[in-house]
Structure 1
């Protein structure tokens, strides 16, 4: 099918440095241009997850709208929800440039941004100024690179954004902040989740609403690591898990020209790995806990496959770089066709259809 974005706009964007192109795409949305894209409403795509009602299961992952510049504009593209961040308490510039590398042959990206963002207060002001209610805007929180108490940085994020977040994501899975993934170790994770849940429960009494907390984990885990994390999230009654972030693996790449660059790999090559990890988590935590699946989604088929692996909702970012801003609406259209073809009352009817298949596969090296 002819894709005008790929034929024209992508070439122009790809002629630019990756970060400059990203900045231009944010400015493009700030002009109000999102109104030219038509969302695809379908009651069969609506989902109820963690007490929230989603118009469709397709979300924008954290990393695109780092500073909460355009959350409402993103939703106008047809996404059912969006996630701003990762946001740290203090502003930080991130790692030295260049730090984003495209792999067009693989429809993938390697990045080592390092939580570059404007900090809590700048994002808070933007969220306070939003005109619009009822939309689902998650806040992805992280720790500053130089923090003396990284767990407290997450607690501070919950405290700062509680009035404005539809849900929180505690991101302990980025490979680009040294030592951050150490928080996935069971003892550290136990402390992190306990302090975050305690803060949430304290604020829920004050504000009269309970904001869900999700935990975002890496795809570079062993079965033992998966089992440990699953045990902790169950013990602490966390609201859900987001699986997964970028990978340090370079497995499956066709274009090796920038494969040596340090950072996390995202895009199509991550799909199978993330589906395997997701399915193993689904088996470890059971059917009741929500899972948001991320990694490698580029069309309706890959989105549906992640739901079959065990996801309740899905998120993407790299896919939009290669498919363009109409990707969410097109995926929703494709999911509706799957509902038609299989006579589904809701797209969630396919959830878990291939969990056993993926969970029996080995995680790629």
Structure 2
């Protein structure tokens, strides 16, 4: 009986620790309850935009966990397509009141050629703390003519979404941009709101969708992004409600992460998680061509060596790319480590001198030196040293 009680305590303790770890991974923003990768996965599976809107608002899919008005009921997300030529901005919106609409995210798409298209999904900064950009990626191996096959390098390429059913639907010559007919307090008959779940429960559900997108700071579809900016909707009541969370998010530690893998964490196609390097600002991308693997990759250009301070022991010259390898006579100067408190005066360190070399074997002498004691009386025999008779 005691054994079962002990095992039960271990399981409860482990569950509590796991819950705390997942809770600490939250950014505290409402965007934690709408996973961008999962939404993009539903878009990939949809046959058209009406089907995509229905999948977003289906409880069994579990992607929508947003309650922006605070009534403990899931909000309905409507889909609106803004088109300009071959560029699309698919807006995911929540009607807050009769006069207020809040954007959740936008899927921006640009056509590259007759058989290529590229997209990104952008989380709205009101819900995510900042504009959060994610895009699907793929890894291709570069074929090598020599060397072991296990050492073949890989290159990251963008995913061509032209053959996704929903993209084919949007680029049909007779397509009319979809505008959801539903608004605040008027929703489809098949839909009913359900209660939101806790964050750690939602995180476990969404983990299934992760591993095929990455976080980026580059607008790879800048023309479609401008369409989103020109049609963006923001609710004043939502901004006021989440103002404390927004202030806490901006003052967060830099290593904070989120369930979407978009605040400092990058999830690759093999399911592994690594740290993504964030730049100081967004970069407007230009129209780029498809990145294709190359059989003969160009060698990297070696950066120019930075000149180092001259060494007084070598006459002030720098050789061998700044290493002073030939002129310092093998002398190495130990550098003091940087101290954490620069105001504290460092103590004078004693100078360590190398001990003199001691010969373990003393030099042998051919004849030992005879030592004569000082002031020793000389005793002479009376008979002159002869034998006694």
Q: TM-score range by the shorter chain?
A: under 0.3
TM-score by length of 2: 0.26
TM-score by length of 1: 0.27
- Answer 1 or 2: which has greater helix percent: 1
